[in-house]
C-alpha cells in the first residue's frame, strides 16, 4: 500500500505537465464546489442574521389599503386611515383574549423627532411611544435603570428611556444621566421627560449610516399613552405580536389574519394584514439553496469531465506501460497488485487535484465572502467530504483502466513494444 502510494506520487512527478492538465478538471470542479458552498453559507448566514435582528418569530399586523378589483393599488392617491379604520385598543384586547398563544404584544406610536438639549450639548432623538411588549419584540437591551412599565403606560407618565449614546452626549455617562429631566425640542413643542432608564444602542444593519457620530439619531422610548396624548389618532395602524414558544408560526399568522380581516369585512378601503419574517426567510433560504444547487450541479459536471480526464490519462498510461506491466507480472505480480497500483495512481492524481481545488476554492470563497460582506466559514465536513469525493472519482474512473492493466496476459504484455 505504502509502496503503491510512493509509486503513484513518483509517476505524478514524472509527468508533471500531463498530471496537471488532467487534474485541471478536478481542480475547477472542486474549487467551484468549495467556493459556491462557502459563499452560499456566508450569504445565508448574513441574511439569517438580518432577519434575526427583526425578530424571526415576530408577526406584524396592521391595516393597509384594500387592493382594487384588478388586484393592484391605486398609486395616485395615498390616504391616511381614519381613526375608525384603525385597530382600536378594545379590538386589541379582544384579540389578545381570542388568541391565548400571544405571549407578547408590541405597540408603538411615532411621537416626533427633535433635539434633546442641555446648554450647548444636544442629541438627536426620535421619540417613540411604546408599551412593555415593544422591548421584547425589538430586542431592546437595558444598560441602566428600567424600561417603560405597564404602570407608566396606564398613567401616561412623562418618562423616557434614552440610548447610552444620548446619555453620553448630554451627561457624559449612563450613571449621571439616570434620573435627570430632559427637554426634547420637536418642531411643534418642547416636551419634558424624566430619564428612567438607558438602553444599549446597537447599530442596525437595516438603518442607514448617520452623517456623523455626533448627529446620530437614536430612539427615546416613552409610554405609548403619553405619545397618544398629542396624536390626532387614538387607534393603531400596526402592531407586532410574538406567539408563545412552540406555536406553529405560519398557521398562527393565517388564523390571526383571518380574524382581523373579519373585522374589516365591510370596509371598502382598508383591510388587515398579518405576516411573519419566517416564511420570507424560508423562501430566501430555499432560493439560495436552489441557486447553490444549480451551481453545484455545474461543478459536478466539471468533476465528471475531470474524472473522464483521469480515466483517459490512465488508459494512456496503461498502454504506455504495457511492457512494464508484463515485467511486473513476470516477477510475480498478481492481477490485484497491478489493479491496486493503477487505482492508487488515479486516486493520487484526483486527490492531489482535490487538495489544490480546495486551496483554490477557499481563496475564491474568501474573496466572494468579502464581496457579499459576510464572514467566511468553511466546515470540516465540506473539506473532508470533497477530499473523499475526489478520491472516489479516482477510484471510480481509475478502476476501468486499472482493471484493463490487471487483466493483461503476462506474455503479451511482456512482448509489447
- With contacts defined by CB under 8 A, name the span among 136-144, 328-336, 352-360, 362-370 that binds other proteins: 328-336
Cell numbers for 280, please give them. 420570507
Give least dist CB 47 to other proteins, A: 53
Q: Is 15 in the site for other proteins (CB under 8 A)?
A: no
Nearer to other proteins, 75 or 336 (CB): 336
Q: Is 74 in the site for other proteins (CB under 8 A)?
A: no
Nearer to other proteins, 7 or 156 (CB): 7
CA 18 to each of CA 13, 168, 217, 316: distance values in angstroms, whole numbers, following the listed order: 10, 67, 63, 11
Q: Is 5 in the site for other proteins (CB under 8 A)?
A: no
Select from 324, 366, 376, 395 the one that contacts other proteins (CB under 8 A).
324
Q: Is 10 in the site for other proteins (CB under 8 A)?
A: yes
- With contacts defined by CB under 8 A, name the span among 9-17, 157-165, 272-280, 295-303 that binds other proteins: 9-17
Cell numbers for 193, please give them. 421627560
Q: Is 43 in the site for other proteins (CB under 8 A)?
A: no
How many residues in the shown chain lie near other proteins by CB under 8 A?
22
Q: CB within 8 A of 264, min separation 6: which ones?
A: 63, 270, 271, 272
Nearer to other proteins, 20 or 416 (CB): 416
Q: Is 319 in the site for other proteins (CB under 8 A)?
A: no
Buried b (16+ CB within 10 A) or exposed e, 85-112: bbbeeeebeebeeebeebebbbbbbebb
Instruction: Tell the residue number behind the cell numbers 441602566, with chain if given.
Output: 144
Nearer to other proteins, 280 or 335 (CB): 335
Q: Is 112 in the site for other proteins (CB under 8 A)?
A: no
d(C-alpha 413, C-alpha 301), whole Å: 35
Q: Can you list the alpha helix ranges (DSSP code H) found in 140-267? A: 150-154, 164-171, 174-177, 224-229, 249-263
Angle CA(302)–CA(308)–CA(310) in degrees, nearest 5? 105
Q: Is 331 in the site for other proteins (CB under 8 A)?
A: yes
Candidates 357, 107, 85, 313; CA nearest to 224 is 107
Q: Is 17 in the site for other proteins (CB under 8 A)?
A: no
Candidates 80, 92, 70; CA nearest to 270 is 80
Select from 212, 332, 380, 381 the one that contacts other proteins (CB under 8 A).
332
Q: Please give the backbone phi and psi of residue 230, each rounded to the nearest 5 degrees, phi first.
A: -100, 0
Give least dist CB 412 to other proteins, A: 9
The site for other proteins (CB under 8 A) is made up of 2-3, 7, 10-11, 14, 323-324, 327-337, 410-411, 414
Amino acid at each position: 500500500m505504502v509502496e503503491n502510494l510512493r509509486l503513484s506520487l513518483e509517476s505524478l512527478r514524472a509527468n508533471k505537465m500531463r498530471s496537471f492538465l488532467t487534474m485541471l478538471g478536478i481542480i475547477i470542479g472542486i474549487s467551484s464546489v468549495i467556493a459556491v458552498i462557502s459563499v452560499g453559507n456566508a450569504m445565508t448566514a448574513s441574511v439569517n442574521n438580518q432577519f434575526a435582528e427583526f425578530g424571526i418569530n415576530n408577526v406584524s399586523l396592521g391595516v393597509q389599503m384594500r387592493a382594487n378589483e384588478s388586484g393592484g393599488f391605486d398609486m395616485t392617491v395615498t390616504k391616511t386611515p381614519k381613526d375608525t379604520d384603525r385597530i382600536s385598543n378594545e379590538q386589541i384586547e379582544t384579540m389578545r383574549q381570542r388568541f391565548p398563544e400571544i405571549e407578547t404584544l408590541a405597540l408603538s406610536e411615532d411621537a416626533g423627532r427633535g433635539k434633546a438639549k442641555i446648554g450647548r450639548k444636544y442629541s438627536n432623538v426620535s421619540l417613540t411611544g411604546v408599551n412593555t411588549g415593544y422591548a421584547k419584540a425589538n430586542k431592546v437591551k437595558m444598560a441602566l435603570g428600567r424600561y417603560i412599565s405597564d404602570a407608566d403606560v396606564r398613567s401616561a407618565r412623562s418618562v423616557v428611556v434614552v440610548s447610552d449614546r444620548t446619555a453620553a452626549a448630554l451627561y457624559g455617562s449612563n450613571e449621571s444621566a439616570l434620573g435627570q429631566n430632559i427637554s426634547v425640542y420637536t418642531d411643534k413643542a418642547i416636551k419634558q421627560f424624566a430619564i428612567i432608564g438607558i438602553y444599549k444602542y446597537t447599530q442596525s444593519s437595516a438603518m442607514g449610516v448617520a452623517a456623523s457620530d455626533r448627529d446620530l439619531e437614536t430612539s427615546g422610548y416613552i409610554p405609548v399613552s403619553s405619545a397618544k396624548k398629542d396624536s390626532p389618532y387614538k387607534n393603531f395602524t400596526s402592531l407586532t405580536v410574538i406567539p408563545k414558544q412552540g406555536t406553529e408560526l405560519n398557521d398562527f399568522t393565517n388564523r390571526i389574519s383571518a380574524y382581523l380581516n373579519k373585522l374589516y369585512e365591510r370596509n371598502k378601503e382598508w383591510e388587515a394584514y398579518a405576516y411573519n419574517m419566517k416564511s420570507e426567510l424560508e423562501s430566501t433560504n430555499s432560493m439560495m439553496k436552489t441557486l447553490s444547487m444549480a451551481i453545484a450541479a455545474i461543478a459536478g459536471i466539471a468533476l465528471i469531465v475531470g474524472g473522464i480526464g483521469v480515466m483517459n490519462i490512465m488508459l494512456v498510461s496503461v498502454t504506455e506501460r504495457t511492457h512494464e506491466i508484463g515485467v511486473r507480472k513476470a516477477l510475480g505480480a498478481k492481477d490485484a497488485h497491478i489493479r491496486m497500483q493503477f487505482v492508487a495512481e488515479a486516486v493520487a492524481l484526483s486527490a492531489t487535484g482535490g487538495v489544490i481545488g480546495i486551496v483554490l476554492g477557499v481563496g475564491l470563497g474568501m474573496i466572494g465572502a468579502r464581496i457579499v460582506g459576510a464572514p467566511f466559514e468553511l466546515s470540516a465536513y465540506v473539506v473532508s467530504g470533497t477530499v473523499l469525493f475526489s478520491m472516489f472519482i479516482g477510484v471510480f474512473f481509475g478502476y476501468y483502466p486499472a482493471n484493463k492493466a490487471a487483466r493483461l496476459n503476462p506474455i503479451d504484455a511482456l512482448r509489447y513494444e
